[in-house]
Amino acid sequence: MEITKVYDAHSEDFFHLLRNSFKADYQSNTKKAINVLDIQPGLKYTKHFGKDNKQKVLIEVEEMTFPLHYRVKLSSNRGDNIIEYLVEPKDDNEIEVTYREEYVNTDFFTKWNNKLLYPLFKKKFQKRMEAQVDNLIRHSKVRKGS
């Protein structure tokens, strides 16, 4: 699924927020410090979550091109989820953000579940994705103080 929207924002500010969020999650889960410049394709870590941190997902950076392209793969026993942000500067104060989520290599149950439920929840998924990008843009502006 994909959404695209134009925002009154700066690509650098938006991308700084994405990278810093990744950095914080990496450090929280690995207990190791990392510089944002070290967040490059191939970097992997295991994220623990859920009740008593019993659930886990392997997160791998697939693309990190400042300030235009962010792509990570989340792998679990239910398949892979690709999360991607493409940022295209329109002018000094405007960017177009494309946000994609893609499920690949899913097991039989997940594949059929997604196939059956997607048409029913398509609008809800799109609204959630748009709200997520809206919030990231808002936080990137607060971070900068604009």
**Backbone conformation region of residue 77, classed left if phi is above 0, alpha if psi is from -120 to 50, else beta:** alpha
Domain count, the chain: 1
pLDDT tens-digit readout, 96-128: 999 999 988 677 777 777 777 777 888 898 999
pLDDT tens-digit readout, 51-80: 998 899 999 999 999 999 999 999 998 889
Contact 104, 79 (CB under 8 A): yes
Identify the CATH number of the domain in which residue 119 sits: 3.30.530.20
Domain that includes residue 83, residue range: 2-144
pTM: 0.88
